[in-house]
Amino acid sequence: MFKELRIQGKTINMNDVELFPRSSRGESVSIEGGDMMLFSEKHFLIGCSERTTEHAIHCLKDVLFKRELIDNVVQVNIPNDRSFMHIDTIFTRINQDHIVCYRPLVYDGLSSYVTVYRSNGSKAKYHSIKEFIHAEINADMQFIFSGNGISPYQEREQWTDGCNLVALKPGVAVTYDRNTRTMEALRQYGYQAMTAEEFLNEDINAKEIENTIIQIPSSELSRARGGSHCMTLPIKRAYIK
Kindly list the domain boundaries of the chain, sorted by start residue.
3-232
Residue count of the chain: 241
Work out whether the CA dihedral 183, 189, 193, 199 comes out positive or negative.
negative
DSSP string, 160-187: TTTT--EEEETTEEEEETT-HHHHHHHH
Averaged over successive runs of 10 residues, the pLDDT of the chain (241 residues) comes to 45 80 84 90 94 93 91 96 91 97 97 96 97 98 98 96 93 94 98 92 81 88 73 59 57
- Annotated catalytic residues are 230
240 contacts: CB under 8 Å, gap ≥ 6:
93, 95, 96, 167, 170
pLDDT reported for residue 237: 53
| Region for 190 from its dihedrals, namely left if φ exceeds 0, alpha if ψ lies in -120 to 50, beta otherwise | left
3-232 maps to which CATH number? 3.75.10.10
pLDDT reported for residue 37: 92
Residue 236 has a CB neighbour count (10 Å cut-off) of 7
pLDDT reported for residue 23: 84
SS3 83: helix
